[in-house]
Copies of this chain bind each other. A is one copy, B any other.
C-alpha cells in the first residue's frame, strides 16, 4: 500500500514500530502530525530528543533519571529505609500513580528467566545487596506474579532473609472488580490462602 505521500508513508512505518501502535493508529497519528501547527510538533520532537539523548539510569535505584540520582531517591521526604524492588520503570510508575508508597525503589531491569538466559548477573541484584548494607527496615518485592517474577521473588527472599531485614511480597489475589467465576484457579487459591480477618 502506498499513501499519497512518501513522507507520510515513512512516518507511518516508523510509528507502527512503537509498542502498542498498529498501522491504523500509526496512520491516524501521522495525519494528526501533518495537520498540527509546526510549533506544537517541534515541542513534541524536542521532548523525544531530550529523553533519547539525555536520559540516564539513577546510580542508586537504576530507574530512568535526568541526573546521576533520580527525583525519587533525591527526595528528602521519601523513606530511604523502605525499598520496593520492581522489574522495570513502568512498574515503578504504576506504583507512583497510586501515590500511597513513600519509600524508595530498586529497578532490577527484568526478572530471572533461565530459559532466555537471564540469570542473577543480568539483573541489578548485586547492586541491591550493596544497598542493604545500610540501615534498611523493609524490602518489598513487587515483581510480577508471572513465573519469572515469582522465581525472582523467591530467589531474592532467600538472599535477603539471612540479613535480618524484613522481606515482604505484594499480595496476590482477586483483582478489584474481578468476577470470581472468570478467575483462574491459581489466583483463587492464592486469594483463599491469603485471606484476611475482617
Give me the interface of A with B, judged by CB distance under 8 Å.
1-8, 10-11, 13-15, 17-21, 25, 27-34, 36, 38, 41-45, 47-55, 58, 61, 63-66, 70-73, 88-90, 92-93, 96-97, 99
Contacts and interface: CB of A to CB of B under 8 A. Distances in A.
A36 to B, nearest CB: 7
A90 B18 contact: no
Given A19-B29, A28-B19, A5 B64 contact: yes
Given A14-B43, A33-B48, A49-B45, A55 B92 contact: no
A90 B28 contact: yes
B7 A66 contact: yes
Nearest to A32: B19
Nearest to A40: B17
A11 B90 contact: no
Contact of A8 (B19, B28, B51): B51
Contact of A5 (B3, B32, B65): B65
13 contacts: A3-B64, A4-B72, A5-B63, A5-B71, A7-B55, A8-B64, A14-B44, A18-B44, A31-B89, A31-B93, A41-B52, A45-B52, A48-B48
A70 B4 CA distance: 5
A61 B3 CA distance: 13
A5 B70 contact: yes
B90 A27 contact: yes
Given A5-B65, A58-B4, A11 B48 contact: yes
B47 A10 contact: yes
B7 A51 contact: yes
Nearest to A38: B52
A105 to B, nearest CB: 8
B50 A4 contact: no
